[in-house]
Amino acid sequence: MKKKAYIETYGCQMNVNDTEVIFSILADAGYERTEKMEEADLVMANTCSIRDNAEQRIWGRIEVFHQLRKAKPGLIVGIVGCMAERLKDKLLDTHKVDLVVGPDAYRSLPRLLDAIGPDSPQIDVFLSRDETYADITPVRTDRNGISAFISIMRGCNNVCSYCVVPYTRGAERSRDAASIVREACDVYQKGYKEVTLLGQNVDSYLWKSGTETVTFAGLLEKVAGIAPDLRVRFATSHPKDISDEVIYTMARHKNICKHIHLPVQSGSSRMLEIMRRKYDREWYLERVAKIREVMPDCGLTTDVIAGFCTETLQDHEDTLSLMETVGFDWAFMFAYSDRPGTLANRTMKDDVPADEKNRRLNEIIQLQNRKSLERYRAQIGRKVEVLIEGPSKRDPGMLCGRASNNMMCVFPAQGRSAGTYTEVEVTDCTSATLICK
Ligand code: 5AD
Ligand code: SF4
């Protein structure tokens, strides 16, 4: 009988994709996927280290796994992903997990699983300069069969002073363009209608083979050329690197969705400087102006950090005013969390008190809620094309799907089915959903 593996995934979409790669590697080691923790022979968490609270959740999950192991001796408990990289010793010594594997070492899982014994936990946290898992076909764990995520690069070469990712995921490397196009063709043939190309900084994607050099714009062009009814999305863009060429390529292809996630982090040039983002407020606003000049209907979303080291009230006001000026459709907003090992942690003081960080964060959230509502309201009366994803979560009698600009739409089913395109008219909205007919 086949052994069963259960994996919980935390953190970013990249991790969701990595879990799919892991299931593919585990299949070669004789494991099949289960969604029931109780019937598993191997339970793992694919973890995130981006903020302290992400890590705190995992310690709790490890306790739950240990309870399970008490009831089922021989059960293997594993921690993989960013926390495995960062906290290997603590995981093995204090928390007694059987398996610790970093983001670049998933290929060694079969070997490590073989070697595990009652008193011999196994670890591999080797960070690679070239691993991209290019040849591994992920076992898709999404259930809708419509939208697939494809990793196009791994790691990150930026040194944003607050960020732990370069330490947990290593240096940036791009994946063979041909293998990306092959994977996109393959999911299209399996009936998928949307692919999202994933990387920490997609704009610095670069693949050289023989005389051919493929930039991110070139890759977009290739993937968009697979089929007119295959939508293409991507994340994440970096304001310092997003090129006119990428913007014009998006505009040229109807099937490249008009949405850019462009993390700003702060609206203060002084903060951006010490965050080492390598752009300033003016540069960011110019990129937004260019995007809107070429694609007036392009959706824009962002990430914002409140209360980074030395942030003054004036810096905070600058963030609010930038958000007011740009008018993002949506934003992910965070209080700064000091991460061991980062440049900020080593060289700066985390000097904005927690309650002040949260006060600023709440101001940011309130402003964004107002802006989101404005942006969604502006869609009322428009006709938009949506790719139907399935029944709406709130009202199973309705269908839902995204517009090109990434806004979620709900509308009456009227005999339509998931995986097809339909045009709807926006009649009403909330700050996160367009209600359509
Ligand atoms: N504290 C708070 N937010 C962070 N992010 C990254 N590092 C930190 C940190 N130390 C946020 C950034 C990034 C998003 C993925 O997480 O906004 O864009
Ligand atoms: Fe993803 Fe960053 Fe979290 Fe790692 S630390 S899982 S790269 S969000």
Q: Which-ligand-closest: CA of 235?
A: 1
| Percent of the chain whose predicted confidence (pLDDT) is above 70 | 100
**Nearest one of 380, 371, 379, 422 to 400, comparing CA atoms:** 422
CB of residue 102 inside a 6 A radius of ligand 2: no
144: confidence class by pLDDT, cuts 50, 70, 90: confident
The residue-averaged pLDDT of 100-106 equals: 97
The strand pair at 398-403 and 383-391 is best described as antiparallel
| Percent of the chain whose predicted confidence (pLDDT) is above 90 | 95
Q: Round the average pLDDT of the chain to a whole number and report it.
A: 96
Q: What DSSP designation does 94 have?
A: T
Q: Which residues pair with 197 in a beta bridge?
A: 150, 234
CA–CA distance, 216 with 60 (Å, rounded to integer): 40
Q: Which-ligand-closest: CA of 163?
A: 1
Print burial letters for 61-93: b (CB count within 10 Å at least 16), e (below 16).
bbeebeebbeeeeebbbbbbbbbbbbbbeebbe
153: confidence class by pLDDT, cuts 50, 70, 90: very high
Contact 217, 246 (CB under 8 A): yes
396: confidence class by pLDDT, cuts 50, 70, 90: confident
The residue-averaged pLDDT of 392-399 equals: 90
pLDDT value at 199 more than 80: yes
pLDDT attached to residue 1: 81
Q: For 240-276, what is each residue's pLDDT tens digit?
A: 999 999 999 999 999 999 999 999 999 999 999 999 9
CA–CA distance, 404 with 384 (Å, rounded to integer): 8
pLDDT attached to residue 119: 87
Q: Which DSSP helix (H) or strand (E) runs through 332?
A: strand 330-335
Peptide linkage before 196 cis (omega within 30 of 0) = no
The residue-averaged pLDDT of 329-341 equals: 97
pLDDT value at 100 more than 80: yes
**CA 208 to chain CA centroid, nearest Å:** 25
**Nearest one of 428, 376, 418 to 398, comparing CA atoms:** 418
pLDDT attached to residue 118: 83
The residue-averaged pLDDT of 106-135 equals: 95
Find the 12 Cα to ligand 2 centroid distance in Å: 6
The residue-averaged pLDDT of 305-322 equals: 98
347: confidence class by pLDDT, cuts 50, 70, 90: very high
Find the 193 Cα to ligand 1 centroid distance in Å: 31
CA–CA distance, 372 with 383 (Å, rounded to integer): 19
Residues lining ligand 1, CB < 6 A? 50-51, 162-163, 263, 265, 303, 305, 334, 336-337, 339
The residue-averaged pLDDT of 146-162 equals: 96
pTM over 0.85: yes
Give Rg (Cα) of the chain.
22
CB of residue 84 inside a 6 A radius of ligand 2: no
- Minimum-distance ligand 2 atom for the alpha carbon of 200: 7
- Minimum-distance ligand 1 atom for the alpha carbon of 12: 15
pLDDT value at 320 more than 90: yes
pLDDT attached to residue 254: 97
pLDDT value at 395 more than 90: no
Q: For 33-87, what is each residue's pLDDT tens digit?
A: 999 999 999 999 999 999 999 999 999 999 999 999 999 999 999 999 999 999 9
The residue-averaged pLDDT of 349-373 equals: 98
Q: Which DSSP helix (H) or strand (E) runs through 411?
A: strand 408-412
φ and ψ at residue 404, rounded to 5 degrees: -55, -40
Residue 72 half-sphere exposure toward CB, CA atoms < 13 A: 16
pLDDT attached to residue 421: 97
pLDDT attached to residue 142: 77
Contact 314, 268 (CB under 8 A): yes
pLDDT value at 230 more than 90: yes
User: What is the SS3 assignment for 265?
Assistant: strand
pLDDT value at 222 more than 80: yes
Which residue has the CA at smallest separation from atom 12 of ligand 1? 303
CB of residue 50 inside a 6 A radius of ligand 2: yes
- Minimum-distance ligand 1 atom for the alpha carbon of 163: 7
pLDDT attached to residue 183: 97
